[in-house]
Structure formats: C-alpha cells, structure tokens
Structure 1
C-alpha cells in the first residue's frame, strides 16, 4: 500500500525520569524489550526492539558533571526477528544469536562503560553457562553542553539492532547553555532521522540472501542498506505543527548508511549553533546541511511571520554518497513537513546570539604523531565486498596506541569509491582539511601525491566533532587530544553495514 507523506504527526520523544537520586549520583534503569510500533497509520504495527519498550528509546537529560549510572538490561528474545548473518565476524553459531551492548556515542567514559563491541551481554541464561543479562555503566558527564546519543554496539549485529530500534538521545546541559537566550522547553526538539523499508504486512524489511555465498546459511551482508522511506522520531514522513517563532532542533542522522543533505523548500536558512560535541563559537547561517551517519547538528529555524506556511524538509544526498543516484523527490527526497498552524502561545523572547562557546584550537605543530590510515575496499573469501581499515581485520594486532595527554593528527586516506563516516570513541576532534590525491600512485608505491590544495572544513563542521565524513579520493585530516582516560577503545566507520563487516579497529590509550 502506498504511504502518503505528512499523514502522521511527528512524535515528541519523552524524557525518562531517574529511578533515584542520591549524593552519589543519578540512577536510570534501561531495559531492552521487544514491542510493537506503528510507523505509519496505513501500516500494521511492526515488531521492533526498544529501550523501555519504546521506539525510539527515551531521552536522558543530565547536567555537566552529574554522575550518572545506567543499568542496561537485555530482556529481548533469544532469536532475532531480522536476518542474522553467521558468516560475519563475531556473529558465528557458537555465540548467542541476540547480543547487546550499549555505546553512549560521543561520551568521554572509562573503557568499561564505553560499550566495547566484544563486551556484549545476552538475555537470561544459556546452556553453556550463565551470561550477564545486564550491565551498569557510569557516565561522569564532564563535558560541555552537547547532543549525544546511545545505541547498540554488539559486534556483528550492530546494523540489525540499531535498525530494530535500539537508539535514543542523551543530552548534556551546562550553565553557559542555560544562560544563552536559545529556544528552550517545548521549543527545543530532538529529531532522529532514519530510513526504513517495509514488507507488505508492515514489518521491517532488511535484505537477506538465501543462496549465496553459503547455501546452508541465511546471510544479510550488503554493501550498504538504503530504505525507501524516511522516518523521523519513528514516523514515516511526519508533519509537525509549530508556532510562528524560533525553534531549536537537534538533528541526528541515525540511518544505517544513508547520508542526508537537508534543506527547507521555501528557502529559509538553518542557523547552526552546535556540532557533535559542543556549541559552536558563533551561529552559522546555512541553506543546506550534509550529515553522514551518526553526525549531529543543532539548528535554529525561525518561523516568525510565516503563519499558515507549509514547509518541507528535503533531502538531496545521493545514495551511496556522493556518486549514487539522487533521491526520488517524492520518497527519499522528502523527510518531514512543518505546518506553521499553531497560535503563538507566548511572546518569543528567544534570540540567535552573536556568540556561543569559544573554541581553543589544537595546534598541529604540537602533534606528537601523525597517523596515515587507509580506508580499503577489498573482497572476502566468498567474493563479497568487504571494507577494512589499514587492510586490517577487527581481531588483528592493535596498531594505534596514542599516549595519554598527547595530541595526534589522524589522516584518513579514502581509497574507496564512496564516502565514509569515521567515528573515534573517547575523544572529540577538530577537522583540519581535506585534500585530493592520486589513488593510483598511492596504491602503486604508498606515496601520497596530492592533486589539489587542501580544502577547509565545511561550514557545518566548524566545531568539535566525533564523526567526520571522509570523501573518496581525498585525505581527511583531524586533530585530537587524548584525554582523560587510558584503556581500550574503538575507531570505525559508522555506516553500520561497513562497521559490522569489518571496518572497525580497536585502539589503546597508553600512559
């Protein structure tokens, strides 16, 4: 059945209340439960997985420096409702089919609370012996105000678990943010953008192959997954009724592999005020914003004087990005609509400040090391494409060992045909530049022959980041300071099909 856009209202994601607070910290209980969810009024309810049985999980809001303890508990079935591929690393027949471990994306946490992909836990007890069904993670939240998100990170099935619904917002506030005259309360709205496809019975569709490459196994590794609808806060092409005033929107690209280039069809600008890790030094006026998977921005949209206007949030990003087909303007080319049909509930006293949060740049000349890291497109034993980093697999020896307190430059050398979304756990970084190079020459002798000048970061990348778009045929350089913890962490492509197979590597921060 065709789905009509702008039929369902965009849900407001609820905030969860802690189970208790004490002088030692704030405590949350976050069970993962199978449940039903209706993505569009013309679709039957679909089976999903959600924290607290919700699609998407509830928003956690904390203050800077507030110690938080979250009990992540797996109450999911022992069988996955999406096709598990047992040929993928970490997802073999000798481990439980349903495994979870939650990563707070963008957070500075000690290793045991980071959601390491191999640190999964399962539901109940297994025949091989008891396995943990819950873990308590500690988040110190010693970070400036920012928009983070939590999501599943289990090795080999991250793409399935996040697609099933295991994701949600985690917002950190601080005193500087509170003092700014930004839109707040009901006018500060998080929006999760994803893409989905549906079977005729309304259930979530995810591709699988039953015959190749292993006839006796159902496999579900595809190069990338792109759904044929866009979903915002769990609804297909929703609408939102807004007042003629300024709104602050926290935009998250939580799609498996799809990039989004967002714009408003009536030509209004976005006033960007924050990137992944913090407020920007000053607002940036933009007509378009490109987000790779896992990237976040905070923007202000001003609907003042636009009573009765109907505004469509559009997507222009090709899939795969940047060389694939452009989106269908009637399906994946539309995201949601804003209807300026609500009366003004109170005078709009919010402002777009001239200054937000200053950034102290990192000096490249102080870098202790510059690492050159390749993004590789190879072929596996079954003839399938496999994406690797430095031509290394997940279980190969660790080669990245930055020292605590040092600054490093990481240069991502993209040897593939598509862009990737590179994410580094523990730290935030600043983007230095992107520069085209001769791929053929590099593959011949490993020498970088640049074919053009360096290009500065895009205007929507002007702040602290934890995920960066790395374009084909370019070297993307980022600079980062490794604090405040030592231990085992992860860097990987955040296109989930790539991450699962097998574009992910561990790194260790040493003393």
Structure 2
C-alpha cells in the first residue's frame, strides 16, 4: 500500500502536545493506509502498555517500543513527572513484498521514505497546577475469562494471497490479492459459523506481513509460527499481524445472519482490491 509524505496526528502536521508532568494515558490508533509504526520515545524512556483494541490487559507490560499495524489500537501510560520534553518516534517501516517497487507498493515522486525513521508527536510536560499524582501503575488492571481452546469445534485456515495480479492492483482472480485464492465477492458467504461456538482459525500471509482484522469478535492468539505468541500478541484482539501461521482462538457471540461480518487485510489497498471475505454467524 502507499505511504504518504506526511504523518498526521489528529489531523495536525508536526504536532506538539502539552501534557501535565505526571502519569499520562495515551490512546493510540494506526489509521494509516499501510504503514506499520514501530513506536518508541526519542529519549528511550520506557512506558506501560495497558490495553488493546479489545480492552484492558490483565497486567500492565513495561516496554520501550510497541508495534502498531494499520487498524490496531493501543493504550499506554507514560510517566512525564521528570518534566523533560520527549518525542514519540517511529522506526523504519520495512514491510513490503519482494516486488515492492511495482503497482500498489510503488511510492511515486515525493513520497516519504518508509525506510527512514520519523517523528510522530512531540510532548512538552507542563506543571499541572496541583501536587503531582502518584506515578504508580496498578499491578492488576482487569480479569477476563478466555475461551477454552479444548472446546473448539472447528479449525479453519485462511491464507492471505499475493500474486502478480495483486501487485498490479487488479483485484481479480487468478493470482491477485485474495484470501484462500478467492477475491472478495459480496454475494458470497465464505464461512458459516455457529452462534455461541468456539473455533481456531489459522491465518498466514504471503510475501509480507498483513494485519488481519476480523469483524464482530475479539480473539486470543494461541500460537505464532508453531511456538509461543509474541509479547505484543497478548490481550483481546480484533487485528493482528500475520506472515507465519498464527492460530487465533475465537468465540462467536454476536449473530450475523442477514448482514454477514467481514475479515480482511487492514492495508487499505489490499482489502479494496480483493483481500477480504465474509462469514455468517447463526
């Protein structure tokens, strides 16, 4: 997908955020077409990751960097009690196919070099006008009951395909941007799921990392590449990066009969050109 030549934060170019000199909660969403942000602070300060797009984690996770793919959300706690300015920066985005110079992956003149780091947002701590609040992060954030993997009634496999047709943006059959070899057809139901059931979906992507997004559910990552999930896979999710096979444990509690749910790559040009499917829940 295309990367623009300017990063915007809430519609602003090169923004400066004045924040109180205490613990600050940031809600982050990657609304870019295709760019994957590898976010950290310019002074290498750590922060605590506390929530995903599906809600709070059970416990806060101390990090120095976090990855946000298109469609992913995260909430973090950042300690600004030292009063020092800092910038949220992103590392290079190296996610591209082997044929990244062609078609949809082409840049065009004047495009930001996605291989270069960039400043996303500058922070300027200011006195809050009151005594500083404690910078302590709660040890327990939330408790949740995960689906039982032993009760999964079915396994499904989704492969996000990229062929020459897809690289040129055709979106048609015969090797374009598809899932399981089929481009999106709004008149076709690709998967039929029983309401209240638990399933395991194995999702993988060809040629590059793809953010798979599934409507109407939150899921847990069971395995990645046959091993343990990554640290950033935890929590209730609806979007996750895949290339190697990733197993997702999903409970389907929301009905979708007359209007099906969708699953798709969250790179805009990929989904718009066919990398999408539909499923019913009844």
Same topology, TM > 0.5:
yes
Report whether the alignment pairs 1:423 with 2:213: yes
Shift of 1:321: 5.0
Structure 2 CA distance for aligned equivalents of residues 456 and 254 of structure 1: 28
Q: 1:344 to 1:397 in 2, by over 3 A?
A: closer
Higher RCO, 1 or 2 (CA under 8 Å, sep at least 6)? 2
List aligned pairs for 1:26-425, cutoff 5 A.
224-304=1-81, 306-307=82-83, 309-320=84-95, 327-329=115-117, 333-340=118-125, 342-349=126-133, 351-380=136-165, 384=169, 386-395=176-185, 397-414=188-205, 416-425=206-215
TM-align CA RMSD: 2.1
Structure 1 CA distance for aligned equivalents of residues 168 and 57 of structure 2: 45
1:433, 1:456 within 8 Å by CA — same for their partners in 2? yes
Report whether the alignment pairs 1:460 with 2:232: yes
Structure 2 CA distance for aligned equivalents of residues 382 and 289 of structure 1: 29
The CA deviation string for residues 386-431 of structure 1, in whole angstroms up to 9 with x for no partner, is 31111112226323111001001110122x2111111111110011
State TM-score, norm by structure 2.
Answer: 0.86
Shift of 1:239: 1.2
Q: Which has the larger radius of gyration?
A: 1
Shift of 1:317: 4.0
Q: 1:235 to 1:227 in 2, by over 3 A?
A: same
Aligned residue for 2:109?
A: none
**Could you list the runs of 4 or more consecutive aligned residues of structure 1 that deviate by over 4 angstroms after TM superposition?**
321-326, 381-385
Structure 2 CA distance for aligned equivalents of residues 475 and 374 of structure 1: 9
Residue segments in structure 2 that go unaligned for 5+ positions in a row: 101-112, 171-175
Structure 2 CA distance for aligned equivalents of residues 455 and 239 of structure 1: 41
Residue segments in structure 1 that go unaligned for 5+ positions in a row: 1-223, 436-453
Shift of 1:457: 2.5
Q: 1:428 to 1:381 in 2, by over 3 A?
A: closer
1:275, 1:460 within 8 Å by CA — same for their partners in 2? no
2:204, 2:246 within 8 Å by CA — same for their partners in 1? yes
Structure 1 CA distance for aligned equivalents of residues 201 and 31 of structure 2: 24
State TM-score, norm by structure 1.
Answer: 0.48
Report whether the alignment pairs 1:491 with 2:277: no
2:220, 2:250 within 8 Å by CA — same for their partners in 1? yes
**Structure holding more strand per residue:** 2
Aligned residue for 1:23?
A: none
Helix, strand or coil for the counterpart of 1:285?
A: strand
Shift of 1:263: 0.3
Q: 1:322 to 1:288 in 2, by over 3 A?
A: farther
Structure 2 CA distance for aligned equivalents of residues 349 and 311 of structure 1: 20
